[in-house]
């Protein structure tokens, strides 16, 4: 499946030069300069049609802080609202200063100062100022429900063309979370009241595109003539596709050029009919897991979670549910491998997972915890049957297949499990509000394991409209461990700080890892060139916020 958030960047110097930007290396501080782009901009009537995730009809909501907004669901937010820095998820050491030309940490990592790019305008013609940036971070500080990155901000200050954000503890590994906040105009957002309730129907951003038209079945963005970089694709179209199947049909016929979906029989159905132009790239960037609701019985019982993990056949989930595109997780920690193998240690080797599943092992776990098989053939405790509903969108065909496999495996282990398909909007709402028992979900992806485990475990994300910690762990000790990881400034110290967090996941199963999730990227290059590839990984290629903006700015009409 794909990442909706956020979830959820950088280009190489060569590719930035190609788009009119010169980049200097990014380290503790970094800088970037733009060249004049007035003669570089290209006008074209060609339309790039994109699909980020199957969904149902949408409402006119472009609030960049809400996971359920139309912009977020269809992967368009970053085309309008931009961050201070973009990061290359396919090559985590690379980053692109964006609305900020440079950044610098203080001596202990508790404050970061951004130099704000000059000459940037909002699409209504007014200038972006450091005050807009500071206002945005103050807004995130004040309203927890739009604090999608769970940032613990102490103070925000402006000095000349710089903005400094301070924190109660070092934040070295949280650069991505800090710098990915979408910047909004103070002149508009200061008057909307609670930003978490604002629908933002006519979005004003600094991005390369602006809203042209909208219907419940999709919307169109047109080029922002005031944008600060060259834009070579004039129009972006974001139709609503009800399922992976309808998205594939659009790709196959040329109605869509870019999608991010699981496709059963990918080579036969999409690649082989037109191998010169039909392409795909699936970079392993996250870990898919079953998310148990820790506020509901029976998923709040460790023995039940262990039985689930022992019973499921990860090989079958990989080979059948995901058509072999996403390999089974090999370690109970869920650490994304091999992407983050440098962060692993011998301390985690004892948490190797069986990938075939065992009903008898699951039986033994439940029996030892005092569960007995009732007359209905299912385990029970104190007269309560161990029954589970596994929920995911029916339109996510791979997750639906995964969940059916999980349910069958659990039935073999005498657990009354069933898959319940839902609409994308209902599922998104229920997961965010904690109204579910068990769901399969991708992890956050980022430039280090911090983003993955923060997304899984950080209590600050488990708001009434959660953007992480969907299971509602709310564990103070783990929050402290995450804080220790955030302040680790070297690979060696990050590896050490990760151990207690990874061990906790492996032994307490607040999430139950299944397969390593791919960044699904399918595209038709007939009309456009400049796509990221394994040999040119300037971005991951998935058509999702916020990194899809980087890809679109690299594309040019063929010809």
Most confident range, picked from 40-44, 330-334, 396-400: 330-334
| pLDDT tens-digit readout, 289-303 | 999 999 999 999 999
Torsion over CA of 259, 264, 268 and 271, rounded to 10 degrees? 20
Mean pLDDT of 14-36: 30
**pLDDT value at position 19?**
31
Q: State the DSSP code for 353.
A: P
Mean pLDDT of 111-131: 99
**pLDDT value at position 32?**
29
For 33, the token pair is 């300069």
Contact 68, 428 (CB under 8 A): yes
**What secondary structure, in 3-state letters, does 445-502 show?**
CCCCHHHHHHHHHCHHHCCCCCCCCCCCCCCHHHHHHHHHHHHCCCHHHHHHHHHHHH
| pLDDT tens-digit readout, 158-192 | 999 999 999 999 999 999 999 999 999 999 999 99
| pLDDT tens-digit readout, 407-430 | 999 999 999 999 999 998 899 999
| Coil vs helix vs strand at 552 | helix
Residue 30, pLDDT > 50, answer no
Q: State the DSSP code for 121.
A: B
Mean pLDDT of 517-534: 94
**pLDDT value at position 212?**
98
CA-to-CA separations, 147 to 3, 175, 359, 447, in angstroms, rounded: 18, 15, 41, 20
**Which of the four pLDDT bands, split at 50, 70 and 90, describes residue 10?**
very low
Phi, psi for 342 (deg, rounded to 5) = -65, -20
**pLDDT value at position 8?**
26
**pLDDT value at position 253?**
86
**pLDDT value at position 248?**
82
**Which of the four pLDDT bands, split at 50, 70 and 90, describes residue 261?**
confident
* Cα–Cα distance measured from residue 364 to residue 385, given in angstroms and rounded to the nearest whole number: 17
For 491, the token pair is 């690979």
Q: State the DSSP code for 320.
A: I
**pLDDT value at position 3?**
37
**pLDDT value at position 288?**
98
For 211, the token pair is 């809203």
In the predicted model, what is the mean pLDDT of the chain?
Answer: 90
Residue 25, pLDDT > 80, answer no
Contact 271, 280 (CB under 8 A): yes
26 vs 525 pLDDT, higher one: 525
Mean pLDDT of 198-221: 98
Write out the E strands in 320-361: none
DSSP codes joined into one string, 394-427: TT-HHHHHHHHHHHHHHHHTT-EEEEEEE-HHHH
**Which of the four pLDDT bands, split at 50, 70 and 90, describes residue 480?**
very high
Mean pLDDT of 16-22: 30
| Coil vs helix vs strand at 47 | strand
Strands 384-385 and 379-381: antiparallel
| pLDDT tens-digit readout, 464-475 | 888 899 999 999
Query: CB within 8 A of 381, min separation 6: which ones?
Result: 298, 301, 369, 370, 371, 372
Mean pLDDT of 441-456: 93
Residue 60, pLDDT > 60, answer yes
Total Cβ atoms within 10 A of residue 433: 13
Name the strand (E) or helix (H) holding 141.
Answer: helix 130-142
* pTM higher than 0.85: no
* Cα–Cα distance measured from residue 545 to residue 238, given in angstroms and rounded to the nearest whole number: 13
What domains, with CATH codes, occur in the chain? 9-282+520-559 (3.40.190.10), 285-519 (3.10.105.10)
For the chain, percent of residues with pLDDT exceeding 90: 78
Residue 354, pLDDT > 90, answer no
Burial class (CB in 10 A: 0-12, 13-18, 19+), 298: buried
* Cα–Cα distance measured from residue 34 to residue 21, given in angstroms and rounded to the nearest whole number: 5
Count of residues making up the chain: 559
| pLDDT tens-digit readout, 382-410 | 999 999 999 999 988 899 999 999 999 99
For 25, the token pair is 């290396």
């Amino acid at each position: 499946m794909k990442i909706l958030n956020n979830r959820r960047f950088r280009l190489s110097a060569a590719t930035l030069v190609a788009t009119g930007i010169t980049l200097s290396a990014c380290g503790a501080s970094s800088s970037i300069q733009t060249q004049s782009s007035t003669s570089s901009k290209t006008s074209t009537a060609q339309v790039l049609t994109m699909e980020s995730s199957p969904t149902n009809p949408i409402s006119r909501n472009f609030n960049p802080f809400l996971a359920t907004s139309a912009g977020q669901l269809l992967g368009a937010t970053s085309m309008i609202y931009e961050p201070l820095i973009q990061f290359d998820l396919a090559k985590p050491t690379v980053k692109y200063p964006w609305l900020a030309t440079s950044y610098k940490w203080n001596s202990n990592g508790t404050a970061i100062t951004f130099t704000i790019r000059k000459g940037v305008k909002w699409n209504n013609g007014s200038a972006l100022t450091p005050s807009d940036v500071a206002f945005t971070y103050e807004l995130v500080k004040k309203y927890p429900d739009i604090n999608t990155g769970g940032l613990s901000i102490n103070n925000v200050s402006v000095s000349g063309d710089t903005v400094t954000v301070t924190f109660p503890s070092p934040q070295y590994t949280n650069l991505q979370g800090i710098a990915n906040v979408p910047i909004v105009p103070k002149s508009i957002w200061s008057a909307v009241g609670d930003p978490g309730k604002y629908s933002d129907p006519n979005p004003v951003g600094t991005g390369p595109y602006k809203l042209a038209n909208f219907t419940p079945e999709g919307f169109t963005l047109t080029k922002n003539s005031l944008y600060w970089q060259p834009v070579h694709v004039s129009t972006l179209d974001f139709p609503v596709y009800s399922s992976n199947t309808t998205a594939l049909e659009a790709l196959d016929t040329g109605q869509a050029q870019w999608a991010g979906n699981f496709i059963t029989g990918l080579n036969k159905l999409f690649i082989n009919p037109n191998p010169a132009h039909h392409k795909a790239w699936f970079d392993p960037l996250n870990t898919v897991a079953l998310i148990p609701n820790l506020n509901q019985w029976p998923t709040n019982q460790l023995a039940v979670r262990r039985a689930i993990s022992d019973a499921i056949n990860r090989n079958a989930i990989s080979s059948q549910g995901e058509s072999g595109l996403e390999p089974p997780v090999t370690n109970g920690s869920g650490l994304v491998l091999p992407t983050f193998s440098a962060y692993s240690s011998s301390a985690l080797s004892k948490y190797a997972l069986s990938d075939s599943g065992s009903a008898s092992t699951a039986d033994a776990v439940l029996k030892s915890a005092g569960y007995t098989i009732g007359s209905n053939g299912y385990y029970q405790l104190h007269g309560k049957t161990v029954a589970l509903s596994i929920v995911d969108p029916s339109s996510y065909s791979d997750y639906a297949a995964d969940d059916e496999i999980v349910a069958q495996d659990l039935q073999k282990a005498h657990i009354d499990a069933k898959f319940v398909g839902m609409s994308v909007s209902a599922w998104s709402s229920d997961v965010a509000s904690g109204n579910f028992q068990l769901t399969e979900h991708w992890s956050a992806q980022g430039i280090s394991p911090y983003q993955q485990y923060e997304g899984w475990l950080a209590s600050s994300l488990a708001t009434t409209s959660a953007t992480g910690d969907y299971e509602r762990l709310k564990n103070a000790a783990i929050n402290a461990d995450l804080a220790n990881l955030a302040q680790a400034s070297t690979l060696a110290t990050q590896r050490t700080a990760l151990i207690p967090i990874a061990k906790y996941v492996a032994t307490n199963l607040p999430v139950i890892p299944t397969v390593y999730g791919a960044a699904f990227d399918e595209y038709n290059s007939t009309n456009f060139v400049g796509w990221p590839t394994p040999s040119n990984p300037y971005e991951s290629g998935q058509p999702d916020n916020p990194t899809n903006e980087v890809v679109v700015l690299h594309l040019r009409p063929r010809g």
